[in-house]
Amino acid sequence: MSPKTKKQNEVIRQQSIAAIKQAALNLFAHKGYGNTSISAIAKEANVSKGLMYNYFDSKQALLLAIIDDAANLGQDLLPNLQDASILPKEHLRNFINNTFLWVKGNMDYHKLIASLIFQEAALEVMGDFIKLKAAMHIQLAEQLFQKMGYEDPRIMAFEFGALLDGIFMAYLSLKEFYPLEEMRQVMLKKYDLME
């Protein structure tokens, strides 16, 4: 058997990293960050502890990588705000629609984020990081509300975030009983984004 190419090794590396992150995500979301060991994550990911440490220095680094992935996914929900060909209302409509789709399709991420807020050990690791990412999201929303002519775009951005957080927390706890699609429509109507 011939040695693997650099490209094949990179594919294997990325698959291992993805498996580790997914295993940690599942365990952190269901067992809690403080109750999950590196050994449990390695076992769940079907990799050795040594390989895990090859990719992540610590459980804290792994948690931050997962949170960063979630935050980056959130940022990807909103196209470039500088694109003048897209009206601010269209940006906001797209953001709402994409966010509802993302949460519905990524319940483990949402469950993890929601649960971490109440886990003291996790907050010690990611508190500053979460604040930084939240500030970035608020700033993006504030820019949109400013372009849409709202009187106090900063407060509107906080209200918008609080509404989304409340809707998704309720959906997380009530699951199929929660009228998620109807709440998406409520959000669109509230901000005058109905098509």
- Three-state DSSP at 139 gives helix
Q: Name the residue with higher pLDDT: 58 or 120.
A: 58
pLDDT digits (tens, 9 = 90+) for 39-97: 999 999 999 999 889 999 999 899 888 888 876 765 666 656 667 778 889 988 988 99
| DSSP for residue 179 | -
E-strand stretches of the chain: none
Token pair in block for residue 119: 């886990």
Other CB atoms within 10 A of residue 46 CB: 10
Mean pLDDT, rounded, of the chain: 85
Please report the pLDDT score of residue 76 as a whole number. 62
- Residue 187's nearest CA partner among 169, 161, 151 is 161
Residue 182: is it exposed, middle or buried by C-beta count within 10 angstroms (0-12/13-18/19+)? exposed
Comparing 186 with 136, the larger pLDDT belongs to 186
pLDDT value at residue 183: 96
Confidence of residue 159 (pLDDT cuts 50, 70, 90): very high
Higher pLDDT, 4 or 45: 45
Q: How far apart are CA 115 and CA 103, in angstroms?
A: 15
Q: Which class would CATH give 59-190?
A: mainly alpha
The percentage of the chain sitting over the pLDDT mark of 70, rounded to a whole number, equals 93
| Per-residue confidence band for 167, with pLDDT thresholds at 50, 70 and 90 | very high
Beta strands, E only, 35-194: none
User: What tokens were used for 33?
Assistant: 């960050």
pLDDT value at residue 152: 96
